Chain A
């Protein structure tokens, strides 16, 4: 480390009370911001669980659909029309809906039922136990072993229960990439069985899953589906639409913005004020340094280093605290909807960089204004 930076480091770190206050301000701001955004991104991720788990390239849906769990039924001709479109390799129907399961103790449990295309089983989950072809067996259902698994009394292969007064048998236990948002178990079966067991409105196709012949065909397919009066969205677009729904239509985005702004203001207030006090307390000594012969650019480097060092240390500790808390929460609640994303990390980093920039700007401005002559005047 260069001598002047080491000098700055020692001036900063040796003042333990101020350095601790500076760090606390940054850590608290980063922690708060990261935690809030992590929770939000976690919710968004869980909200898109079925899109992620099914994993197809294009989803065809009613234009009114905002999230994957709120599908609007489409008539069968949509499936036929899509299959006949230019650029479509294949297209299959998907059923997505809710049902009630009657448990052995007589209580009821809500479940999400995914009905996979009978022929292709496109979008099927990875099985942990059982064989996929058993899904065709009479009353066959596959249950997902996730955080909500126990709500179905930890079923095993062969376990039976009632689903909307129909007998259902567990023929497989699967795992998925992401659990759902609403805290209810997920069952997979065939499209036909789902449509048969679950009371439905007039139209039963929730989504048409499409595989294009090549990625270049996607825009053409989207155009053709639009001409039909429906929407074709890629997996990413559908996830974005789901995210937009939570951001813009539920007030979630505004809340996150407010919390981020609050954490920024808290961080800036504590750290900015403490750093400014640190500069003020050392103002005469900085003046002495100027009299002795420190160059302005060295003085600026020293203060920038102090602000950057504090900011980055605080950032690391804030991220660490956030990770630790999410980890602890997930030990207790496996479905805990919090997820640290690169976006959170970048937002936190930018916020801390702005705090450091403002704090150091104020400090530098003050220090550069000191006239070393004032040191002589006492």
Chain B
């Protein structure tokens, strides 16, 4: 029986009031398990990104609860919630959001810096992760000198550097061409996913469905169906730290 990483119950979220009220989530209930790569797919405006934000502790729902590793995250105060995200969740954003004035290594080291580790140690660990994501020798370059795919790898290194239990990926292939997007997700599936990690991916890019363990379909703020994917983490080990070939 797989262990539950995220459990959402009765999630409701709306924006605006009165005639301008837009309902983004309508009683969403789901479980995400360790060792799986869970895709949430659906058309634009179906509530995928809102759901992802609520699950990751970024956007507070109007009602319902989210339990991550048995912690009801929406009962935490702002500082505790920030600490929770820093320690438990890695984010890969659609537009990468890398700082152009920092080096690749400094960008990747940000979560460790926010954890107030020694600067040199942060950079050392970040360089290690950059090696893992295939950016050996690029640590001192600014992100603007990298291709889109390489920038996404930096974002993945940044998300993984603090070894979070949960990886949140928001439209990870939206800014990449088909081949690069496929290569990135293949890399994540092969090197990042393991039995102790849960990856939640929001996408509408069907070309990367092959890596999903499960696919949840969403429409009009509701989960409308579940589909078993072909990607599986059942045969993966449970690495406890950065090792060559796995993040």
The chain A residues found within 8 Å of chain B, CB to CB, are 1-4, 6-7, 10-11, 14-15, 282, 284-285, 287-296, 298, 371-373, 375-378
Contacts of B191 in A (CB 8 A): none
Contact B93 A288 (CB under 8 A): yes
23 contacts between A and B (CB under 8 A): A3-B116, A4-B116, A11-B99, A11-B101, A14-B102, A284-B95, A285-B97, A285-B98, A291-B58, A291-B85, A291-B91, A292-B91, A293-B85, A293-B89, A294-B86, A295-B79, A296-B79, A298-B114, A373-B53, A373-B58, A373-B59, A376-B53, A378-B94
Contacts of A376 in B (CB 8 A): 49, 52-53, 58-59, 93-94, 170
CA distance A366 to B140 in the complex (A): 31
Q: Is B36 at the interface (CB under 8 A from chain A)?
A: no
Given contacts A11-B101, A15-B101, A376-B93, contact A292 B110 (CB under 8 A): yes
Contact B97 A284 (CB under 8 A): yes
Chain B stretch 91-131: residues in CB contact (< 8 A) with chain A: 91, 93-95, 97-99, 101-102, 106, 110-111, 113-114, 116-119, 122
Contacts of A290 in B (CB 8 A): 82
Contact B116 A293 (CB under 8 A): no
CA distance A15 to B98 in the complex (A): 14
Given contacts A4-B113, A10-B106, contact A378 B82 (CB under 8 A): no
Contacts of B119 in A (CB 8 A): 1, 3, 6
Give min CB distance, B54 to chain A, whole Å. 9
**Nearest A residue (CB) for B94:** A378
Contact A378 B85 (CB under 8 A): no
Q: Is B78 at the interface (CB under 8 A from chain A)?
A: yes
CA distance A296 to B80 in the complex (A): 11
Contact B85 A292 (CB under 8 A): yes
Contact A372 B113 (CB under 8 A): no
Contact B58 A3 (CB under 8 A): no
From B86, B95, B99, contact of A293 by CB (8 A): B86
**Nearest B residue (CB) for A7:** B113
Chain B stretch 184-220: residues in CB contact (< 8 A) with chain A: none
Q: Is B83 at the interface (CB under 8 A from chain A)?
A: yes
Q: Is B87 at the interface (CB under 8 A from chain A)?
A: yes
Contact B101 A14 (CB under 8 A): yes
**Nearest B residue (CB) for A298:** B114
Give min CB distance, A207 to chain B, whole Å. 65
**Nearest B residue (CB) for A284:** B97
CA distance A287 to B96 in the complex (A): 12
Give min CB distance, A367 to chain B, whole Å. 14
**Nearest A residue (CB) for B120:** A3
Give min CB distance, A70 to chain B, whole Å. 61
Since A293-B89, A296-B82, A373-B59 are in contact, a sample of 6 more A-B pairs with Cβ atoms closer than 8 Å, ordered by chain A residue number, is: A14-B101, A284-B95, A288-B93, A295-B79, A373-B58, A376-B93
Q: How many A-B residue pairs have CB under 8 A?
A: 91
CA distance A371 to B59 in the complex (A): 8
Q: Chain B: how many interface residues by the 8 Å CB criterion? A: 37
CA distance A15 to B101 in the complex (A): 6
CA distance A376 to B49 in the complex (A): 7
Contact B101 A375 (CB under 8 A): no
Give min CB distance, A182 to chain B, whole Å. 55
CA distance A14 to B117 in the complex (A): 22
Given contacts A293-B86, A376-B52, A376-B93, contact A3 B113 (CB under 8 A): yes
CA distance A289 to B107 in the complex (A): 11
CA distance A295 to B158 in the complex (A): 18
From B56, B117, B171, contact of A3 by CB (8 A): B117
Contact B93 A295 (CB under 8 A): no
Given contacts A14-B102, A285-B97, A376-B49, contact A294 B58 (CB under 8 A): no
From A10, A295, A377, contact of B49 by CB (8 A): A377
Most buried by A among B78, B87, B113, B122: B113
Contacts of A2 in B (CB 8 A): 116
Contact A292 B117 (CB under 8 A): no
Q: Would you list the 3 A-B pairs with minimal beta carbon distance, nearest first? A: A293-B86, A14-B101, A288-B97
**Nearest A residue (CB) for B117:** A3
Contacts of A377 in B (CB 8 A): 49
Contacts of A292 in B (CB 8 A): 85-86, 91, 110-111, 114, 158
Most buried by B among A4, A15, A293, A378: A293
CA distance A284 to B94 in the complex (A): 12
Give min CB distance, A274 to chain B, whole Å. 15
CA distance A7 to B103 in the complex (A): 11
Contacts of A284 in B (CB 8 A): 95, 97
Given contacts A376-B170, A377-B49, contact A293 B114 (CB under 8 A): yes
**Nearest B residue (CB) for A4:** B113
Contacts of B49 in A (CB 8 A): 376-377
**Nearest B residue (CB) for A13:** B101
CA distance A2 to B158 in the complex (A): 20
Contact A10 B101 (CB under 8 A): yes
Contacts of B113 in A (CB 8 A): 3-4, 6-7
Give min CB distance, B122 to chain A, whole Å. 6
Contacts of A7 in B (CB 8 A): 102, 106, 110, 113
From A4, A285, A371, A373, contact of B99 by CB (8 A): A285
Given contacts A3-B122, A291-B85, A296-B78, contact A375 B97 (CB under 8 A): yes
CA distance A288 to B94 in the complex (A): 11
Contact B53 A10 (CB under 8 A): no
CA distance A50 to B83 in the complex (A): 68
From B79, B82, B102, B114, contact of A11 by CB (8 A): B102
CA distance A6 to B52 in the complex (A): 31
Contact B116 A282 (CB under 8 A): no
Contacts of B170 in A (CB 8 A): 376
